[in-house]
Amino acid sequence: MRGRASAFGIAISFALLLAPCGLASDAAARIGADVIVTAAPVYVPLAELRGQERFPKGAQLLLLHADHAEPLVPGFAASADANVYFDGRLVLFAGKQLASDPWQIWELKLKDRSVRKVVVTATDAERPLYLPAGRMVYAVRTTHGFRLDSTDDGHPLPYTPLNPTAGPGELALSYTQANAFPADILKDGRVLFEAGFPLGSGTTPELYLVYADGSGVESYRCDHGQARWGGVQLSSGDVAFTHGVSLARFTSPLAHEERIAAPAAQYAGEIAETASGDWLLSTRASASGPYVLKLWKPGTAAMETVLAKNGESLVEPVLVAPRTTPKRHPSGLHPWDYANLLALDARLSRDGALHGTPVAVRVETQDAAHHAVVMGTAPVEKDGSFFVQVPGDTPIRFALLDAKGAVLRQEHGWFWSRGGEQRICVGCHTGPERAADNRVPAVLLRTTTPADMTHAAQRALTGGR
Amino acid sequence: MSRQAHGRLRAGAVGGMLLIAAAFFAVALWTGDEAQAVITGRVGDPLVYPSPIELLYSPNGTQLYVLCNESDELRVLDASTGAAIKSIQVGHIPRGISLSPDGSRLFVTNTWDDTLSVIDTASLQVVAEWPVGAEPSSVIEDRGGKHLFVANRISNDVAVLNARTGAEEKRLAAGRGASYITPSPDGSRLYVTHVYPNPTPHRTAPESEITVIDTARAVVVDRIPLHSIAHSFHLTFSRDGRLGVVAEMHPKNLVPLAHLEHGGAFVDTLTLFGTDVGDKPVEVPLDELERYAARPFGVLITPDKKFLYVTSEGSEIVTVVDVPRLLRYIHTHQGPFAEDLSASGNYVVTRIAVGHDPRGMALSPDGSKLLVANRLEDTISVIDTHTNRLASTVRLAAPKQMSVLRHGEQTFYTARYSFQGQIACANCHIDSTFDGLQWDLEPDGFGRDIVDNRPIEDLKGTEPYKWNGGNPNLPTECGPRTEKYFWRSEQYDDLTLSDLVTYIQSLPPRPNRYKLPGYELTPAQERGKALFVRAVDKFGAPIPLTNRCVYCHSGPKGTNQKSFDVGTKKATDNPGLLDTPQLTNIALSAPYLHDGSASSLEEIWTVFNPEDKHGRTNDLTKDELNDLIEYLRTR
């Protein structure tokens, strides 16, 4: 009861704050659509990647019309993370009906403002995104941090896809013991997500990709170093993101990021691109100030303030407009609980030449206490190829060993393969820019049966029992 | 002002208006108003579309020759207005076009007639039709007007004809699938490229070549190897002759096809050669990390050597390459470059979206316009070479409706349905045929069930599909299986799938060049046929019904549509039987057997049939096997 009253109080306070507010009319014309934005008295960027609350003093979704702004879901104690459906009529969001509730995933029908809970979880569920073909993805808090999960979006499809992406029902998409949050769905259907680098062990925010069935996880680029977050794909196909104090993008031709020449400011990330190519951005002048909503025409020197709220940050802008539906990923997973991984030439790496000849690969997983556990070793052929069978849906990493068993190169992060996945790596950290040489890997000339790590993994994880 | 003067002025004004109107009309034609014509619905009746495949300006630049691949014609347009001047009927499925050095004659190769049409450019009349080799695909006359050189795709050679009479004087052995001939700027050499890979040992990388011919002597003087290249198309030179460029496809057929990202199936590349490049050819990619230039076909370098234009059939784009930057890049970076998808960012200026299946290009005489033939859209894209932007699109006179077959063909050739637009059906079925390669498909296991790519002509009535017979029909083959294991991305809707299947089923067999007129058999073919149908071996022992050639390879297409164990499975093959392949044009599609391990028909029996499981053949002599082959070639 106290929670409900509290929620009402917050809603009232927002309404009072917003009453005289609206968008500048010329900005509204340039935007050409309604906007939903998350307003919060306190916004702590990247807090969720540390497992903390981004909006420690609550947050509320605002719907910005041409001449006014209003709470989108006034009956909620908190709401954030809006994602508009492809037809522009529905909105997924993370919300708390009561302040004491965990964040849950809701859907709002814009026509009548009716809401329904899409996913019921015992813990926080945040950052929902619509996937094509009746699925959605979000982050759910587990004992190991926020995990990417997907489920049906609750809207029956008018057709049966030739090959579904996943489902029916819930499916975890990430399998490392680290916080991961969906950032965007790319046009090719992959989920762009944020997690620390190295994946599963590091804390530098980085962008990753995974197919909507949890397979094919990889870094978006291997141009690691600076913290990146707030990534979204633009109509050009570029993925724009923030470093906090600057903007940058990944483009299709380049393996490394490209700086975006934007006015000096702190950027929250998560750009909303208008139909005319302008960008809606959340910026602030200093680390202590609130984020305001600005409109910027890329390439120009100045930004126009669209909306500012005294003492509140306005973040996560999204346009209320139809948009192109990304492509559905037709899952090709086999009905197995293991995965087969083929490395074509483990000697290849962006990290430079190996100081020795690898003769074996050590395959490791993690136990419940996050300790690395050796599953076993498999031979590395003279051409650098190896072929292993590993348990699916499990953290994995490799270490290359020389003839004396010394580690020549060790993966710092973790990745996973879905059960039933068969995947090829060109090398060890070669980057997505490196295509495979066209040759039969020596390991497949010797055997087409992968070295089985699944039993060793079982033994290792159960202490040899 | 006098009445007379006013009248003159008015007449002048009217005349001027007419001229302006005419000019406007001309501009309107080239600005592509007609291109906006809405093509709606799909009609079941087959319609004949022009399907422009190559473009050429007349010597004085006033006319544009448009070679129309499906309507079997050469259209002559006014080069400044786009207005139609004449349609000249040529042979069946024309593919190549060139002008004689003096500009008096046009030559067109007709691939299914095996003929060469000779057209007088003054009268625009066909003045001769000469028989040439098998599937002639391009033609060039030497500077001296002595010889015509014709690349024959099926017979893998270049025919040397007397340029006046058309009489064939000799054949020069080229590579497999010889298709496109380009003269060096000084005319002293001819460079021949090939759409199929040369034979290589089983499970090794494909190889192709540029066959170099000394024009004056009409002899092959060099074979420039194209390592790892399976299919090459047009070649071009810079005007100074220092830079040659070939458009080509670099497959990844030896690596399990587990996914498409990172160039998993193909890299689309150019090979550069010549003085500007150095001693060895250099291969460079056109693809990017997330965007491909699927199936490069046409290449053209501007006279000032500033830009290189490349059409990509599957991606429906023209890629613009900055030539100085490209040369600087290859000289300042360590190769090889073909596997680096971030390389093209150093020299690709832009990608210009054009129409369906862009093929040949032509640069206007003043260099201001680049024209692109969009084969499956019946349009010509006009690119402003100063801005490198699409200026207009001109629609050729063509049926206004979309037929099922045309829509199916567009679906077959476009790469838009695959992950990041990397591949299309036509990547492995070059010009709706085959690719001469063997692939390691993911669902069968890495390194297991290596499969030779079978031709797809005359497929109707040969189901099931796949070597293991696992797909009962084409909708299954081209539907869920293709989406999941090839495109790795959401593909076409059911209606489009249906159109695609209709198109594939409509593909007729190419003319069989081994059959005599009237389908009579030569004595050797007759002897071979007797062996094919025999019920008793040479020692008088009866051959069990199921071990006779004619039992499995029965029916009009040479398959009883059943699966058998013919003793050819390898340790790396999964258990199960093998589908009986059809024999349609079997002579063209080496290598053979399910995994392509037999490099010739003869090897099927001499190497891979030790126990006579693949028919009783071990009693036959070399000559008898040759007879059997002679007969099979007629199928």
Q: pLDDT tens digit string along B123-132? A: 999 999 999 9
Q: Do B263 and A436 touch (CB under 8 A)?
A: yes
pTM of the entire structure? 0.93
pLDDT at A461: 65
Look up the CATH superfamily of B519-632. Cytochrome c-like domain (1.10.760.10)
| Residue B35, pLDDT above cutoff 80 | no
* Interface contacts A/B by beta carbons within 8 Å: 142
Q: Mean per-residue pLDDT for B599-611?
A: 97
| CB nearest A433 (choices: B206, B341, B440) | B341
* Eight-state DSSP code of residue B521: -
Shortest distance between the Cα of B483 and any Cα of chain A, in A, equals 7
Q: Which of A188, A332, A435 minimises the CB distance to B339?
A: A435
Question: Does A86 touch chain B if contact means CB atoms closer than 8 Å?
Answer: no
> In this predicted structure, what is the pLDDT of residue B506?
95
**Range A173-178 average pLDDT:** 94
DSSP B190-206: EEEEESSPBP--TTS--
pLDDT given at position B616 = 96
Tens digits of residue pLDDT in B491-514? 999 999 999 999 999 999 999 999
Q: Which among B255, B479, B484 has the least Cβ separation from residue A436? A: B255
The alpha-carbon gap from A449 to the nearest alpha carbon of chain B, in Å, equals 8
The full length of chain A comes to: 465
Pair type for strands A451-452 and A386-391: parallel
pLDDT at A23: 61
**Stretch 308-337 of chain A: residues touching chain B, C-beta under 8 Å:** 327-332, 334
Instruction: Give the pLDDT confidence score for residue A154 in this predicted structure.
Output: 93
**pLDDT digit string, tens, across residues A391-426:** 999 999 999 999 999 999 999 999 999 999 999 999
Contact residues, chain A, for B495 at CB < 8 Å: none
Helical (H) or strand (E) element with B552: helix B549-552
Mean pLDDT of B85-89: 97
Exposure b/e, A180-201, CB count within 10 A at least 16 = b: bbbbbbbebbbbbbbbbbbbbb
Shortest distance between the Cα of A46 and any Cα of chain B, in A, equals 28
Contact B291 A437 (CB under 8 A): no
Q: Please tell me which residue of chain A has the smallest CA distance to B286.
A: A253
Q: What is the pLDDT of residue A27?
A: 79
Answer whether A162 sits within 8 Å of B483, measured CB to CB. yes
B204: closest chain A residue by CA: A439
A435 to B484: CB separation less than 8 angstroms, yes or no: no
Q: What pLDDT, on a 0 to 100 scale, did the predictor assign at position B12?
A: 40
Q: Is A145 left (phi over 0), alpha (psi -120 to 50) or beta?
A: left
Judging contacts by C-beta atoms under 8 Å, the chain A residues touching residue B288 are: 252-253
Nearest to B228 among A163, A251, A438 (CB): A438
In a 13 Å sphere around the CA of B96, the CA atoms on its Cβ side amount to: 32
List, as ranges, residues 247-266 from A with C-beta within 8 Å of B: 251-256
pLDDT surpasses 70 at A132? yes
Task: Please give the helix or strand (H or E) that residue B66 lies within, else none.
Answer: strand B63-68
**Burial call B65-100: b when 16+ CB within 10 Å, e when fewer:** bbbbbbbbbbbbbebbbbeebebbebbebbbbbbbb
pLDDT averaged over every residue in chain A: 92
**Residue B587 vs residue A162, higher pLDDT:** B587
Q: Which fold has domain B1-57+228-511?
A: Methylamine Dehydrogenase; Chain H (2.130.10)
* A438 in contact with B, Cβ within 8 Å: yes
- Range with the poorest average pLDDT among A19-28, A36-45, A71-80, B578-587: A19-28
Q: Give the whole-angstrom CA distance, residue B448 versus residue B141.
A: 49
| Residue A162 contacts B where some CB pair is shorter than 8 Å | yes
CB B446 to CB A422 under 8 A? yes
Interface test with A, best of B208, B228, B229, B255 (most A CBs within 10 A): B255
Confidence of residue A11 (pLDDT cuts 50, 70, 90): very low
DSSP B389-417: EEEEEEEPS--SSEEHHHHHHHHHH--TT
Question: Closest approach of chain A CAs to the CA of B228, in angstroms?
Answer: 7
Mean pLDDT of B150-173: 97
| Residue from the list A237, A434, A437 with its beta carbon closest to the beta carbon of B290 | A237
A339: closest CA of chain B, how far (Å): 11
CA distances (Å), origin A303, targets A25, A29, A35, A38, A419: 15, 15, 17, 20, 48
Which residues, in sequence order, are CB contacts of A147 under 8 Å at separation 6+? A139, A140, A141, A172, A173, A174, A180
* Res A4 pLDDT > 70: no
Q: What is the pLDDT of residue A161?
A: 86
Q: Which of B288, B442, B448 sits opposite A252 (nearest CB)?
A: B288
A132 in B contact zone (CB under 8 Å):
yes
- Give A434 to chain B, closest Cα distance, Å: 5
Q: Is the pLDDT of residue B84 over 60?
A: yes
**Interface predicted TM-score (ipTM) of this complex, two decimals:** 0.92
Let me know if B19 is exposed, middle or buried by CB neighbors in 10 A (0-12, 13-18, 19+): exposed
The chain-wide mean pLDDT, for chain B, equals: 93
- pLDDT score, position B571: 93
Q: CA-CA-CA-CA torsion for B213, B367, B313, B350, nearest 10 degrees?
A: 120
Confirm or reject contact between A370 and chain B (CB < 8 A).
Answer: no
CB of A366 closer than 8 Å to CB of A335: no
Query: Fold match between B1-57+228-511 and B519-632?
Result: no
Contact between residue B50 and residue B396 where contact means Cβ atoms under 8 Å apart = yes
Mean pLDDT value of segment A175-202: 96
Q: Quick one: pLDDT at residue A465?
A: 45
> Could you give the C-alpha distances from B212 to B179, B197, B226, B274, B606, in angstroms and in order?
13, 17, 13, 13, 35
Per residue in A342-368, pLDDT tens?
999 999 998 889 999 999 999 999 988
Residue A409 to chain B, least CA–CA distance (Å): 23
User: B490, A329: Cβ pair inside 8 Å?
Assistant: yes
Distance from CA of A3 to the nearest CA of B (A): 45
pLDDT of the residue at B1: 37
Count of alpha carbons within 13 angstroms of residue B398, beta-carbon side: 32
- Which residues on chain A are in Cβ contact (under 8 Å) with B347? none
- In angstroms, the first-to-last Cα distance of chain B is 85
Q: What tokens does A398 get?
A: 């490799």
The edge-to-edge listing of strands for the beta sheet with B105-110 is B94-99, B105-110, B115-120, B125-131
Q: Which residue of B has its CA nearest to A256?
A: B342
Domain ranges in chain B are: 1-57+228-511, 519-632
A343 CB near a chain B CB, below 8 Å? no
Separation in Å, CA of B127 to nearest CA in chain A: 48
B551-574 pLDDT, tens digit per residue, is 999 999 999 999 999 999 999 999
Tell me the sheet residues that pair with A69: A64
Cβ-defined contact of A438 to B251 (cutoff 8 Å)? yes
Peptide bond into B591 cis (omega under 30): yes
Q: Is the pLDDT of residue B34 over 50?
A: no
Q: Cα-flanking dihedrals φ and ψ of residue A369, to 5°? A: -90, 15
Q: How far apart are CA B433 and CA B550, in angstroms?
A: 25
* Residue A429: predicted pLDDT: 86
Residue B207 vs residues B154, B194, B204, B225: alpha-carbon distances, Å: 17, 10, 9, 7
Q: Which residues in A177-320 belong to E strands, given as ranges?
A: 180-185, 191-197, 204-210, 218-219, 229-233, 239-242, 247-250, 258-260, 266-267, 272-273, 279-284, 292-296, 303-307, 313-320
pLDDT of residue A455: 81
Q: Which of A334, A422, A432 sits opposite B289 (nearest CB)?
A: A432
CA–CA distance from B37 to each of A11, A94, B33, B584 (Å)? Answer: 54, 47, 8, 40
Chain B residues touching A445 at Cβ < 8 A: 447
Binned at pLDDT 50, 70 and 90, residue B40 comes out as low
Question: How many Å lie between the alpha carbon of A179 and the closest alpha carbon of chain B?
Answer: 25
The residue count for chain B? 635
What tokens does B254 get? Answer: 């030896």
Mutation choice for A interface testing from B340, B423, B490 by most A CBs within 10 A:
B490
**How far apart (Å, rounded) are the C-alpha atoms in residues B503 and B506?**
5
Out of B205, B255, B480, closest to residue A344 by CB: B255
**Cross-chain residue pair B258–A424, CB shorter than 8 Å:** yes
Question: Which of B255, B341, B490 lies nearest to residue A327, judging by beta carbons?
Answer: B490
Residue of A438, A439, A448 for testing the chain B interface, max B β-carbons within 10 Å = A438
DSSP B510: P
Q: What proportion of chain B, given as a percentage, has pLDDT over 90? A: 91
* pLDDT higher than threshold 50 for residue B11: no
